[in-house]
Copies of this chain bind each other. A is one copy, B any other.
Amino acid sequence: MGKVLVLYDSQTGHTKKMAEYVAKGASKFPVEVRLKSVDEATKEDVLWCDGVAVGSPTHLGVMSWKMKKFWDDLVDHWGEIDGKIGCAFSSSGGWGGGNEVACMAILTMLMNYGFLVFGITDYTGDKFTLHYGAVCAGEPREEQEIKACERLGERLAQWVLIYVDGRKEYLENLKGGSQ
* A interface residue numbers (CB < 8 A to B): 59-66, 68-69, 71-72, 75, 78-79, 82-83, 85, 93-101, 104-105, 108-109, 111-121, 123, 126-132, 134-135, 137-138, 148, 159, 162-163, 166, 168, 171, 174
Say which residue of B78, B98, B123, B166 sits within 8 Å of A112 (CB atoms).
B98
CB distance from A2 to the nearest CB of B (A): 13
Q: Is the CB of A118 within 8 A of B115?
A: yes
From known contacts A127-B95, A163-B163, infer whether A60 and B101 are also in contact, taking CB-CB under 8 Å. Answer: no
List the B side residues contacting A98 at CB < 8 Å.
100, 108, 112, 131-132
Q: Is the CB of B116 within 8 A of A108?
A: no
7 cross-chain CB contacts under 8 A: A59-B68, A65-B68, A83-B159, A94-B126, A96-B99, A96-B129, A98-B108
Task: Kindly state the separation between the CA atoms of A101 and B107 in the bound complex, as whole angstroms.
Answer: 12
List the B side residues contacting A137 at CB < 8 Å.
127-128
CB distance from A109 to the nearest CB of B (A): 4
Q: Is the CB of B118 within 8 A of A111?
A: yes
Task: Kindly state the separation between the CA atoms of A134 and B54 in the bound complex, as whole angstroms.
Answer: 26
Q: Is the CB of B114 within 8 A of A159?
A: no
CB distance from A20 to the nearest CB of B (A): 19
